[in-house]
Amino acid sequence: MSRIAVDTHQTPTFDVVLADGSVERVDDAHAYQQEQSMTTFFRNDGGRQAVDCWSVRVASFRTEHIVAIRRHEAPLGEVRHLQPA
């Protein structure tokens, strides 16, 4: 007989507060860094917070327009894994 284990993984989300008062949500980004005049958000396999050559760009904003950046751990939903008895 098999058992089902329920796992609730978290996926990182950033809220970017802009100078005009609007808030942009960036989902599934693990890290961000400034690239010249832009701040870019990256997704990394394995949830690494370091940006490297394997990172995928998710979104970019002009750095001069950013007032604040807030990171949240958003629930991804229920993931079920079958486990042998």
Q: Are 11 and 26 in contact (CB under 8 A)?
A: no
What the block records as the tokens of 32 is 């961000």
CATH code where residue 61 lies: 2.30.30
**How many domains does the chain fold into?**
1
Instruction: Give the separation between CA 79 and CA 61, rounded to whole angstroms.
Output: 32
Q: Domain of 68?
A: 2-84
pTM, entire model: 0.72
79 Cβ contact list (under 8 Å, min separation 6):
6, 7, 8, 9
Q: Which residues pair with 42 in a beta bridge?
A: 31, 57
In order along its 85 residues, the chain shows pLDDT tens digits of 444 444 445 678 999 999 999 999 999 898 999 999 999 999 988 767 788 889 999 999 999 999 999 998 756 555 556 666 6
